[in-house]
Amino acid sequence: MPRLALILEILLSCPLWFLHAVGETVPETLSGEQRFCQAGRLHQVRFKTKSAASIVSIDDLKGFKDLECDHDGSRLNVIFHDEIHSTALWTRVKLGNVFVTGGEDHGCPLKIEPRKGFLLRWARSAQLNGQAVIIQTSLAQYDEIYDEASISYGSQADASCNEDSLQDAFVCVGVNTDSTCTRAAQPLQIYTNGIVTLTCDDCFAALSGDVFVDLEIKKFQLKSFRAGYSNATINAALDLDMQAQKSWSTGIDKDMPIAGGQSNPIVSFKIGPVPFVFWFDVDQPVVGDAELFASAEARAGIKMKYDIGTSYVAWDPTNHWSHSKTSPQVTFSPAVSGSAQFSGTADFHLIPSIGLHMNQLFQYRLKLDPSISMQVNGDTHSKQICESAGYDVILSTSAALHLNINFLHIHDDQEWGPHVLWQSNGTLSKACAPQSLSTTLVI
């Protein structure tokens, strides 16, 4: 008897084993709660879902050996230890209309963190290749899998996570930030030409807080959505070390590198066979110019703390997009030191942009744009150096959904923003020092 015919005969004689081998493939309703500790926070998921889809979970396959993924979501190569198990999977997915899922251990590598995996594909067709099954796929959306779904996720402090070494930590996302989310990880050179050197001794931006998401799907369409931050704080600093061999002016426009600490945390969980993953992306352009009028060195800068509290975006088909009202309390801490012979000006925008993503669900971005104007002048008679500074700050947000929205609203509602949430400007009191000294102002 040919090998393929023998394999099929074995499978047909063992229907229960066959179904177990290819994983969960029947529609089901799931409800419950998950709790887990990560980075010192308790993460809680409450859910009630009704799946009207046929699902194959790579995590549950018997005889599984390896998974090879493409880069565009169009193909998977699932490899087994033997042809019996590869034939079982091929029989299940060969006609298509099956979803293939996988979690952190058996998913395709995430671009943001290749050591972690995620898989949510729609199998369109498949071919058997010995111990491997080659599946033609497309990226799947959650509203294609769920007929109905009510999912609520949030993180918070909890005594049950005290065993974690970072028990007091919030989610921390930043650019050039250390693990405390309050200091720079390292100095950054901004500009040098042999005559003028600008180094950012303390340049960083970091958001700390807790994340929450509420999602409801009915009849394969999004019905409501809310996501954002609670207890949110943004810490940022722009502290320049300015050295000049002679009078010189220069312009700056560059991106600051991501470095240090927990700049890109990832949270993942599964509801039955369906995986979910949160991640963040951050960038921080520095734009500005400096004009130095003397052969001397000085340090001048401002630390900024924005207590934002709760900031979230919401959508439903009746009210469309909305955002929580926020009026951050801002604390500025100017500092200056250096030679009494120094004289110069600097105008800089430090623009951190922090994106929150839930895979194939949504993205939500906060953008902070503080414009800082500094005049730094020494006084050889008093042997002091002084800094005068003004500021103009804009906090804006934008969002995008990747789920099925009623056709009448898709052009208006699939993307939202950028929208200005808050804006403030003013002048800081003059700060002078014979040496490094900081003052604090609350706006």
Look at residue 314 and tell me if it is in a domain: yes
> Of 106, 127, 144, which closes a domain?
144
* Co-location of 240 and 286 in the same domain: yes
Whether residues 130 and 240 share a domain: the answer is no
> Could you tell me if residue 42 is inside a domain?
no
pLDDT of res. 317: 85
pLDDT at residue number 420: 92
For residue 436, what pLDDT is reported? 47
Q: Residue 274 falls within a domain, yes or no?
A: yes
164-200 pLDDT, tens digit per residue, is 444 344 677 888 888 778 888 888 888 888 889 999 8
Same domain for 67 and 187, yes or no, is no
Taking each helix axis as running N to C, give the angle between helix 83-93 and helix 3-12, from 0 to 180 degrees, rounded to the nearest 10.
70
pLDDT of residue 282: 82
How much is the pLDDT for 21? 42
Closest-CA residue to 211 (of 358, 422, 49, 403): 358
> Per-10-residue mean pLDDT for the chain, 443 residues long?
51 41 59 87 93 89 94 93 96 92 89 85 95 95 91 87 52 80 85 88 88 92 91 91 89 68 69 91 86 89 93 90 88 91 90 87 91 91 91 92 64 79 91 63 47
Q: Are residues 203 and 280 in the same domain?
A: yes
Residue 110 lies in a domain: yes
Confidence (pLDDT) at 25: 44
318: left (phi over 0), alpha (psi -120 to 50) or beta: alpha
Q: In this structure, is residue 38 part of a structural domain? A: no
Report yes or no on 154 lying in a domain.
no
Residues 314 and 363 placed together within one structural domain of the fold: yes
Angle of the 83-93 helix axis to the 15-22 helix axis, nearest 10: 80
Residue 53 in contact with residue 28, Cβ under 8 Å?
no
Dump pLDDT digits (tens) for 315-345. 988 888 899 888 899 999 998 999 888 999 9
Q: Is 21 helix (H, G, I), strand (E, B) or coil?
A: helix
pTM: 0.81
- Those residues whose C-beta lies under 8 Å from the C-beta of residue 383, and which sit 6 or more positions away, are 340, 434
Domain count, the chain: 2
- My answer on whether 187 and 125 are in the same domain is no
Residue-level pLDDT at 11: 45
> Is 153 a member of any domain?
no
End-of-domain residue from the set 144, 178, 202: 144
Query: pLDDT at position 409, please?
Result: 53
Whether residues 183 and 294 fall in one domain: yes
Residues 400 and 320 in one domain: yes
| pLDDT at residue 48, rounded to an integer | 97
Same domain flag for 255 and 398: yes
- Same domain? For 210 and 307 the reply is yes
Q: Which domain holds residue 430?
A: 170-442
Q: DSSP secondary-structure letter at 184?
A: B
Co-location of 122 and 202 in the same domain = no
Structure tokens at 136: 């033609």
74 shares a domain with 187? no
| Measured distance CA(241)–CA(290) in Å, rounded | 12
Whether 414 is in a domain gets the answer yes
Of 106, 128, 144, which residue constitutes the final position of a domain? Answer: 144
